[in-house]
């Protein structure tokens, strides 16, 4: 576990503990100082920068982006009062803290000191743009010609040519990362699909997600009925059984728990039906639609594929419908590993807040609830195992195949030929453009923005 993850989680635990003890308003402005006293070695350039970043991280935990800061001397306790009253926007769900951004140089290929100016000079031959020449016994890249293809890197026997990365931009599958005039990163929210890959990749923790924790905790403190709708990817995220985990959620302050895997059962049934309807009417393709980052990517970057994206509601949407019917006045919280779900939830009247697995872990830690020591009764309505596997890559297809059942010899229904996109990156986005044009085999494409499916999500607890 790296220092960034550790600091983020420690801060969450502290924030939640003090939120419930009622001392947060009084103490929140002290937290950055207490966590980074000047007697300790700083991690960034100095303790003051460390503290400033903790301050912005606390703002993000309350749902505020640094972009909104108009008065630098405004106290965190004032932001807290706003957050408790629901006056935080938490939109867009990602925020770049430009104070923390290192302003990394643009990704490029360069020759390191390890170059020995060898006789064979494979780099010179491999370069498709004739950008490499040898000057003073060392390969030199002409930046005006180089296209950063990396072919020279691949052939150098000394590994002397390296790629200098720009981590957030390299991680972004859709080219939504750019830079402002100050050299700091900006997210282009017209292109962003909220997959959270940049947030996870920034070595300086400068990209933050704007949390909705304050609203959820306040609802609990106010004694409201708060329902947890837990995503199928919860399995393997915590020690202990799913029954113990649900018992822990009740101790943590949720009035009731809904397994979103039950929604996944409904998604599966409808999606299977929809597939046959579409094939019968002559569609060449259908893609899954449960991954909100994928749906955004289709809308913003692959307009040709939009008509092939399944219109079946996601497991969260179904779970929200069921929960809203059973508990009309409750505060409904979806809990999952996903940032893009925040965006999906904002458009869904049946989901009030989204909590991440990381935040749930911090909540249980803050309340000192030891999951594996709990006694737990069996679940009243356990979801089917195929539905719980929905969140793994290929899980959607497998669930649908199971729903369709074994194909019989006299089966006249169209055959399903399933393909998987296991994680969105620039390459797979291009592949999907080809699928949209009917240039690749397969009639059902399951797309997961995160590698391995939701279980590899940006806010998962145990990756």
The packing angle between helices 260-280 and 315-326, to 10°, is 130
CB of 260 to another protein, least distance (A): 21
CB of 34 to another protein, least distance (A): 10
CB of 45 to another protein, least distance (A): 22
Q: How far apart are CA 241 and CA 368, in angstroms?
A: 18
E-strand stretches of 340-407: 353-356
CB of 363 to another protein, least distance (A): 9
DSSP string, 257-310: EEEHHHHHHHHHHHHHHHHHHHHHTT-S-EE----HHHHHHHHHH-GGGGGGB-
Question: How many CA atoms lie within 13 Å of 452's alpha carbon, on the beta-carbon side?
Answer: 8
Phi-psi region of 336 (alpha: psi -120 to 50; beta: other; left: phi over 0): beta
Residue 122 or 240 having the CB closest to another protein? 240
Residue 31 or 160 having the CB closest to another protein? 31
Tokens representing residue 54 in the block: 């903790």
CB of 1 to another protein, least distance (A): 4
User: CA triplet 147, 150, 153: central angle to 5 degrees?
Assistant: 140
Residue 72 or 375 having the CB closest to another protein? 375
CB of 463 to another protein, least distance (A): 9
Residue 54 or 371 having the CB closest to another protein? 371
Secondary structure letter of residue 186 according to DSSP: E
DSSP string, 196-244: -HHHHH-TT--EEE---HHHHHHHHHTT--EEEEE-GGGTTTSSS-HHH
CB of 174 to another protein, least distance (A): 31
Residue 81 or 462 having the CB closest to another protein? 462
Q: Single out the residue of 382, 152, 136 nearest to residue 259, CA to CA.
A: 382
Q: Which residue has the tokens 């094939």?
A: 279
SS3 127: coil
Residues contacting 356, CB < 8 A, separation 6+: 209, 211, 335, 336, 337, 338, 339, 459
How many C-beta atoms surround the C-beta of residue 431 within 10 A?
18
CB of 43 to another protein, least distance (A): 14
Return residues touching another protein (CB under 8 A).
Answer: 1, 6, 9-10, 13, 238-240, 248, 358, 361-362, 364-365, 368-373, 461-462
CB of 239 to another protein, least distance (A): 4
């Amino acid at each position: 576990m790296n220092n960034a993850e550790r600091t983020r989680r420690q801060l969450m635990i502290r924030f939640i503990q003090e939120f419930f003890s009622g001392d947060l308003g009084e103490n929140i402005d002290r937290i950055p100082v207490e966590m980074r006293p000047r007697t300790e070695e700083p991690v960034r350039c100095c303790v003051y920068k460390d503290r400033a970043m903790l301050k912005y991280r606390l703002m993000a935990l309350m749902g505020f982006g640094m972009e909104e800061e108009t008065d630098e001397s405004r106290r965190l306790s004032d932001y807290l009062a706003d957050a408790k009253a629901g006056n935080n926007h938490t939109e867009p769900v990602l925020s770049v803290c430009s104070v923390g951004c290192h302003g990394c140089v643009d990704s490029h290929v360069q020759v390191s000191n390890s170059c020995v100016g060898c006789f064979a000079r494979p780099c010179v031959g491999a370069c498709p743009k004739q950008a490499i020449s040898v000057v003073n016994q060392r390969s030199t890249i002409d930046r005006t010609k180089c296209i950063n293809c990396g072919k020279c890197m691949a052939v150098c026997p000394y590994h002397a040519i390296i790629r200098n990365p720009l981590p957030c931009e390299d991680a972004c599958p859709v080219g939504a990362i750019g830079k402002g005039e100050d050299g700091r990163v900006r997210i282009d929210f017209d292109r962003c699909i909220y997959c959270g890959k940049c947030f996870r990749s920034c070595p300086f923790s400068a990209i933050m997600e704007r949390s909705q924790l304050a609203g959820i905790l306040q609802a609990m403190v106010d004694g409201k009925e708060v329902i947890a709708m837990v995503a199928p990817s919860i399995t393997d995220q915590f020690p202990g059984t799913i029954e113990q985990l649900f018992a822990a959620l009740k101790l943590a302050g949720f009035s009731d728990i809904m397994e979103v895997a039950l929604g996944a059962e409904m998604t599966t049934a409808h999606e299977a039906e929809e597939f046959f309807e579409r094939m019968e009417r002559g569609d060449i393709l259908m893609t899954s639609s449960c991954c909100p980052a994928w749906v955004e990517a289709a809308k913003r970057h692959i307009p040709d594929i939009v008509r092939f994206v399944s219109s079946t509601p996601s497991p969260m949407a179904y779970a929200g419908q069921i929960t809203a019917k059973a508990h009309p006045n409750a505060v409904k919280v979806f809990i999952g590993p996903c940032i893009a779900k925040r965006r999906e939830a904002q458009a869904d009247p049946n989901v009030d807040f989204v909590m991440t697995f990381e935040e749930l872990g911090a909540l249980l830690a803050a309340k000192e609830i030891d999951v594996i020591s709990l006694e737990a009764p069996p679940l009243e309505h356990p979801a089917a195992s195929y539905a719980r596997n929905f969140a793994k890559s290929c899980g959607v297809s497998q669930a649908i195949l199971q729903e369709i059942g074994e194909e019989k010899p006299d089966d006249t229904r169209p055959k399903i030929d399933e393909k998987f996109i296991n994680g969105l990156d620039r390459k797979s986005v291009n592949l999907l453009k080809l699928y949209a044009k009917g240039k690749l085999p397969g009639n059902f494409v399951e797309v997961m923005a995160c590698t391995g499916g939701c279980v590899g999500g940006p806010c998962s607890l145990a990756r």
